[in-house]
Amino acid sequence: MWETVIGLEVHVELSTKTKIFCGCSTAFGAKPNTQCCPVCMGLPGALPIFNGEVLRYATMAAIAFNCEISKTSVFDRKNYFYPDLPKAYQISQLYFPIGKNGKVPIKVGDTEKVIRIHEMHMEEDAGKLIHSEYDNETYPDYNRCGVPLIEIVSEPDFRSSAEVIAYLQKIKSICEYLGISDCKMQEGSMRVDINLSVRKKGEETFGTRTETKNINSFRAIEHAIEHESARQIDAIESGERIIQQTRHWNEDKRSSYAMRSKENAQDYRYFPEPDLLPLVVTDEYIESVRASLPEMAESRKQRFMSDYALSDYDASLLTASLHTAELFEKTLSKINMPKEIANWIIVPLQKLLNERGKTLDDVSLDPDNFAEVISKVTSGKINRASGMEILEAMVEAGGKIDVDGYIKEHSMEAIDDDGLIVDTVRKIVGANPASVAEYKGGKTKVLGFFVGQVMKELKGKANPAKVNEAILKELSK
């Protein structure tokens, strides 16, 4: 029996306003090469100045990942030439990273496990190369040069893709709660390299690993892991040796190809960055950062359980991502129905998002709009099925629609006309004397039958509370 062994290198782009060593903006999506200066372009004579916000963000992360924080951390130059890096070196941390020996607990199904963090360091991002399919040229965009990153290097502690996904979701959730990154994989603000080897179960030593890059969704990570693990097992079983190399994942083709043989630290000729002093942090600094940490998932979950009487299960689901927790609380500030809102989020909303492969990152559901739909259903203005339909339209529209307009356009208004409801009830009750007799004989269950018949007659649009009331009145005659 084979066992898969995985270690992850995760890059997270920090959402500081400016870059790590200059004052250029880090905003995503600007016109190429409009957010650069001599420092981040590495022009001769330009000198870096360290952005203190990066240290604060990195310290928050180090605390949240339970790392030991280095009182003195040092920037190193990692030398390599590639057109996305005009300086021909990246400022990173190799020998004295800001955090070491961290621990991130994860849960897969009912099994809990702790993933060990080897180290966590700060570094600058490189630019982006845009390969044009139209003219077969490559266009460099240097806006991303110098955007601050933290790189989180795990120990080879993962044994399945499910553990990897649980860990990445945890990292993402922690960074979102801290407010230090949006961790959007599709925008490259969270990037994952997968180091993977296989071995026979029970073996003590690890096999030779490959490193797979260019993976930009959770789904692609799952595919890449299954694929690479099968590829290595196949190779070994047919007598080949695994070569330590860097591989490139192609999600469309669901396959990978070798990019280059894996480089070692020596290849980069690392040396301490001469233009920057070592970073020294005091205990007081670390404690002040710790004291300023925002409310995290676990305490929010406890608060949801005690303040809103939600179950452990509901509270866990609602707080797993900050977006979900915020949607819940913002909706709650409009309509005070915690259990009802929780149900809407956990069941239909989650289903609609899953079907589209999306999350609340992509669809920022408007809490006012959401509250409006829920209260229209609970007050009987529209029926539940219509409510679900409107929610779907909201998700399709990217999070917000004109609810009243939609209800009119699709004639979803519940029948509130008392006269019509009473007439229909009379008709149904009159047509079913046997059921009336059963009811009078004590079989109150037939009430459901009457409600069903009346609703059917009124095409499901009657206000259920009114129907119930009218039937009871009619039957008590």
Q: Which residues here bind Zn ion, judged by CB under 5 A?
A: 22, 24, 37, 39-40
Determine whether 84 is exposed, middle or buried from the number of CB atoms within 10 Å of its CB (0-12, 13-18, 19+): middle
Which among ligand ADP, Zn ion, none contacts residue 185 (Cβ within 5 to 8 A by kind)? none
Q: How far is the CB of 14 from ligand ADP (least distance, A)?
A: 20
Between 125 and 182, CB nearer to ligand ADP: 125
Say how far apart CA 154 and CA 120 lie, in whole Å: 9
- The partner residues of 18 in beta bridges, in order of sequence, read 25
The tokens for 253 are 């083709």
Assign 220 to helix, strand or coil: helix
In this complex, which beta carbon is closest to Zn ion, that of residue 88 or of residue 437? 88
User: Least distance to ligand ADP from the beta carbon of 194, Å?
Assistant: 8
Phi-psi region of 470 (alpha: psi -120 to 50; beta: other; left: phi over 0): alpha
| Three-state secondary-structure class, residue 439 | helix
Nearer to ligand ADP by C-beta: 192 or 458? 192
Please, which residue, 50 or 270, has the CB nearer to ligand ADP?
A: 270
Residue type at position 407: I
**Residue 328: CB minimum distance to ligand ADP, A:** 35
Instruction: Map tokens 């870059």 to a residue.
Output: 19
Q: Using CB distances below 5 to 8 A depending on partner kind, what does residue 40 bind out of Zn ion, ligand ADP, none? A: Zn ion
Using CB under 6 A, list all residues that contact ligand ADP: 5-9, 153-156, 195-197, 206-207, 209, 265
In the bound complex, what is the minimum distance in angstroms from residue 265's beta carbon to ligand ADP? 6
- Closest residue to ligand ADP in the complex (CB): 7
User: What residue 247 binds from ligand ADP, Zn ion, none (CB within 5 to 8 A, per partner kind)?
Assistant: none
24 binds, among ligand ADP, Zn ion, none (CB under 5 to 8 A by kind): Zn ion
- Cβ at position 210, least distance to ligand ADP in Å: 9
Q: Which does 195 bind (CB under 5 to 8 A by kind): Zn ion, ligand ADP, none?
A: ligand ADP
From the number of C-beta atoms within 10 Å of its C-beta (0-12, 13-18, 19+), residue 468 rates as middle
- The DSSP string of 392-404 is HHHHHTTS---HH
Give least dist CB 13 to ligand ADP, A: 19
> Which of ligand ADP, Zn ion, none has residue 412 at its interface (CB below 5 to 8 Å by kind)?
none
CB of 8 to ligand ADP, least distance (A): 6
Given ligand ADP, Zn ion, none, residue 325, with its beta carbon under 5 to 8 Å by kind, binds none
Residue 255: C-alpha distances to residues 221, 225, 235 (Å): 12, 11, 15
- Distance from C-alpha of 9 to C-alpha of 340, rounded to nearest angstrom: 40
Q: Which is nearer to ligand ADP, 25 or 246 (CB)?
A: 246
Q: Are 217 and 251 in contact (CB under 8 A)?
A: yes
Angle between the 161-178 and 297-308 helix axes, to the nearest 10 degrees?
80
Complex with ligand ADP: residue 191 or 466, whichever CB lies closer: 191
Contact 365, 391 (CB under 8 A): no
